[in-house]
Structure formats: structure tokens, C-alpha cells
Chains A and B, each alone.
Chain A
Amino acid sequence: MKVFSTNYLESLSIEQVLPSDQWNWKPANSNVDKIYASGAKTATRQTTYATEKDNESDSDRPNEGQ
């Protein structure tokens, strides 16, 4: 099977913490080096793609009749 949406698959966005002199804006919290959770669900997934993705796919969820 081939479906349309897979034409848009792309590698997951991975946060890069650049040195502050390479930022073009100044965060209210200047301690930017501690930005470790910029949308990534967990470190293990190393992605900022699915900010809210609950990694259990539907098939992994118990069928509780939601």
C-alpha cells in the first residue's frame, strides 16, 4: 500500500542549542543553555516533532471505549 501523506515524511526536527551569540533574539530567561525540553517529549525520542505526541499508538492503548 502506498498512501499520499507518506510523500511528506521527513526527518524529525532535533533541537540545536546554539551559543547565545548566534541567537537573533534575547529570551527573558538568559540562561538558554538549560533549554533541554523544547517540545521534546522525552530525551529518548530525541525529537521536537511531536510536541504532544503520546507515543502509545492507538493500537497500544487498551480499548476502554473512549
Chain B
Amino acid sequence: MILILTDSNDAHANYLIDKLKTLPYFRFNLDVASLLDTYYTFQNGNIQIKQSGRILKLRDIKCVWNRRNFVELLLEESYDQDMDFKLWKNEWNKTLTGIYNSLKSVPWLNPWRLAYIAENKYLQMEVADKLGFTIPETLISNEIGELKSFINQYNPVVLKLMNQDFYKTAENEFKGIYVNKISLKDLEKFGSSNENPIVLQKYIGKSFEVRYTVVGADHFVCKIESQASNIANIDWRRYDIPHTPHTAIEPPVHIKDKVTRFMKELGIEYGALDFIVDTHNNWYFLEVNSMGQFLWIEDLTDLKISDAIIKWFKTQLNLNINNYESVLN
């Protein structure tokens, strides 16, 4: 049986489950509403989970698809938590790590600890550099002098954040921060103390961007022509898909080779990597997301990413994968 760790609103899980057909699975939703209707028992080393009337005996699990790991909070739930809620959430999170401990001998896509380790951007840069990827010049500092020097040297530069979170404003709106070009003048607002380190990166003039998704040995590469959009040209996550062509491409052999080694180095089998390709066809590694989204790529390009995930499931379940191989090859 496949264990799908997700939440009740995960469109990716919905889509995959529709395609599983006869493959046995248990969908374990980790959102608050679902956990409020979840009953768990650990006794004599055995774990049983009942959620919304469905029962799982953990010993039946043969592999895990890891979409979520801990109690999933809606934006509103992440603010103004009362004591009981915090206690409830903390104990559920510890319970989940107990479940994961019991599943340490089955294959995961991706193993949860390795997935979190792989999210470390410093580690990503270190490994990418070691493997010979080109990385944009980067500075992480809260020293104003260093920041100014960097901009002087590499102008134009962009401001990025390490932690992509949502913040509730005084007007009770949730806002986030995209990639933005910044100048020396902008740094006039940078305080002389009490600032956190910020990430500056040399802006790379793009020909196009790439979303590079890996599932096991299968590589799916999507060219994102963000420069065709006035909205998405600096950060394609300011989605303007109707004006941002997405097409499947073959990556250069040397990039594919490095990606394969990069994944192996991080110990993960699923990853969504982002690249920039400049006007001289140089590929710049930006980051990997070990739990990154892929459906919009599949929807737009017909790349069979979900079939590759199902192939991975079938491999773990020791089932015939010929049908999926024929789709992929």
C-alpha cells in the first residue's frame, strides 16, 4: 500500500489518486480539519490510524509519497494560536515523527529528513558549486557596506528571501515577497542595525527560465519564456501564464549529468530545480525544491511527470511498469 502524506486540499494528490486506479493507497491528510477527525493508536510497536472512517495499519505500507510532513496550517491558523491549539499541534507533530520512524525502512519519495535538509539553500549552493553548476554571484549579509559594494560591483542585482513566507499586514492582508531588482538608492532604507541578513544576487539577463523536474531516473525539462511577459519577467511566480510560453525541451547533456549527480548528492529522488538560461545559452542554477509543485508544468506541456511518480510507486510495489515505461520512453 502507498501512503500519501498530504492535506485535503492538495490538487497534486487529488490528481495522482485519480490516476492510481487499482493501486492500493491510504491518503493521510495533515490539515487541521482532517486531523480533528483522526484517531491514532500506538501499542506494542504497532500503529493504527483512523481518519474520516478509513483505517490504516502502518505495517501494510510499502512506500510513501511525501507531499506534507507536519500539521498543515492555513494562513489564518498560523496566527493567534491559543495554548490548547499549540499543544494539540505540537503533540500531533511529534506523533507524526513517531509514524515516520516506524516507516524508516520503506522507500519514500522523498525521505522526509533528506527533503528538509535539501531545502537548505546554503547546502544547495555548496553542492551545486562542487558539481560545476554555474551560480549567479551571491551575497548574504546585513552589513550595509558589504551590500553597497556588491551592488556597485554587480549592478543590476536582485533581492531574494531565503524563507518564502506570508505575512499578515496591519490591514489584515497576507502578503509575500517576490524577487525584486534593487539599487543603491533602495538601500537608503536599510537600517544601520537590527536588520536580518538579506540575499542579493547578480541579475542574470535571461533568454528563458527552466523548471527541471526529476522523478527517479526520469527528467522533465520545461522552458519558461518569462521574458515574453511584462509581469513575470523578473520572477515567473508572478504568474502570467497566458503570456508566458511553457514548452518541453531536452536539456544539454552536461546539465542532465550534473542534475543526476546533484540529486544523488542530496539523497533525493524527486526534485524541482530552477535554472536561468542567459542569452549565451549558459545555464545558471538557482535552487531545488524537494517538494516542489509540478502539475502546472504537466498541464501546459503534457510532460508525463505524474506517470513517472506512478511508475515509482509501481516499482516499489514490485508491479509491472511496462505501460508507464512505454508512455515515458
Contact = CB atoms under 8 A, between A and B. Distances in A.
B39 interface: no
B154 interface: no
Given A9-B175, A11-B175, A32-B299, A54 B291 contact: yes
B20 interface: no
Given A35-B300, A39-B293, A53-B165, A66 B176 contact: no
Nearest to A11: B175
A53 B302 contact: no
B194 A50 contact: no
A43 B11 contact: yes
B296 A42 contact: no
A37 B15 contact: yes
Nearest to B70: A56
Interface in B162-177: 163-167, 169, 173-177
Given A48-B237, A64-B113, A24 B228 contact: yes
Contact of B292 (A34, A42, A51, A56): A51
B289 A51 contact: yes
A29 B186 CA distance: 42
Most B CB atoms within 10 A — which of A12, A42, A53? Answer: A42
Interface string B43-68: 00000000000000000000000001
Contacts, number: 178
Q: By DSSP majority rule, is chain A's interface helix, strand, loop, or mixed?
A: loop
A60 B73 contact: yes
Contact of B243 (A5, A10, A24): A24
A13 B78 CA distance: 20
Nearest to B13: A42
B281 interface: no
Contacts of A32: 299-300
A35 B237 contact: no
Nearest to A34: B299
Contacts of B180: 8
A60 B163 CA distance: 14
Interface string A27-46: 11101101111111111110
Contact of B195 (A4, A41, A42): A4
Contacts of B164: 49-50, 52-53
B242 A55 contact: no
Given A8-B159, A54-B291, 13 more contacts: A3-B196, A4-B198, A5-B177, A8-B178, A15-B241, A25-B243, A29-B299, A31-B299, A35-B300, A37-B15, A37-B295, A42-B9, A48-B237
The 7 closest A-B pairs by CB, nearest first: A52-B289, A37-B295, A38-B296, A42-B9, A25-B245, A9-B175, A37-B11
24 contacts: A2-B191, A4-B190, A9-B167, A10-B175, A12-B174, A13-B239, A23-B242, A25-B242, A27-B246, A27-B301, A35-B296, A36-B299, A37-B12, A37-B15, A39-B237, A39-B239, A40-B11, A43-B11, A48-B237, A50-B176, A52-B272, A56-B70, A56-B71, A57-B165
